Structure 1
Amino acid sequence: MSDILHYLKTRRSVAIPSLAAPAPEAQDLEDILTVAARVPDHGKLAPWRFILIRGDGAVIAGRRLADLVERREGSLSETRRRVEETRFTRAPLVVAVVSTAAEHVKIPVWEQQLSAGAVCMNLIHAAYAKGFGANWVTEWVAYDDEAKAILAIGEGEAVAGFIHLGRPTETLSDRPRPALADVVREIGPDGEAGEATL
């Protein structure tokens, strides 16, 4: 089995609290983002962009998110405030992959959104190739316009994912995966979908 196939068969997400410093930076980060951008992109639109959330910027973003929640819900418990304030400091680097998909004369919005999803997965693969771990999440911030504005995500843009990056501090065990018999069908000679023969 090739190294790539072995990696793809064994890769899994690292729990965010288990992602420690150092984060990818300098050439490592440039390589990771370069690979992330090498995805299917019908029409060469590059319908996505990256926002790096780290260091003092991550701290400030967390405080602003906590303030936003407090304005809406009233005084926060110490625990709830800490959850919001540390949302982007749980890992040493968070890369927001922002979908900029828009109506186009030839390219459906859905295809542009799929391209942004491919960016997220390529980013994760590139991070692992560099010896880092990753976790792809969205959470409430991705779907809230005021929260997105705190992160300089514009109106009409969507969060494809917040990719948390760092060095894994634990040995990962696999989780159950779907059985192929449950997710694979084949169009038979009668034109009907039935069980597939692999």
Structure 2
Amino acid sequence: MTTDDTEELGVIPTTRRDDPEAFGELFDLHRDRVFRHALRLTRSVHDAEDVTGMVFLEAWRRRDAMREVDGSVIGWLLVTANNVSRNFARSSRRYAHVLSILPAQGTTPDHSEAVDDRLDSDVQRNALRVALAQLPKRDLDVLSLCVIEELSTAEAAAVLGVALGTVKSRLSRAKTRLGGLLAETAPLTQTEGGTR
């Protein structure tokens, strides 16, 4: 395998790990896939863009620790996106709480809420986002890799650093949990969508 082949697969060769140009090529190769995954986990396009940027910042910061499977780091990037989106959601909740306890001041109409409402009115996307947010980290990681991004169970096992049988059993349980959560979440989301 040549250096060019390695870069095509989405891995920065060891000799170029500190090369910003090589990292830029890796970013160009995987940013859309990471963004689509982040969009599934966040409330808006803007949040997904923030999460995507943070994933690649983390990837640059930890470039020597990125785990590759079958010549690609996409699995590592997707699991990192799961972790970043959870941290992002926690930070957003804290920020909203702080804002809620500040004294009220005169406000100017903000059109961003109307845009967010329009984006959130997609009932199925909202139900999936709510259900995914309720899953334990293990379930979200295995579903992200095997179902959403269609990595093989062997690839997922290598990314997660667990046995193949563990991935298969986690995947089965995660699908069952997600199905149950979607069944619970869908009626609530349809009601919310219908009242807008």
Whether TM exceeds 0.5 here: the answer is no
Q: Which has the higher strand share?
A: 1
- TM-score normalised per structure 1: 0.29
- More RCO (CA 8 Å, sep 6+): 1
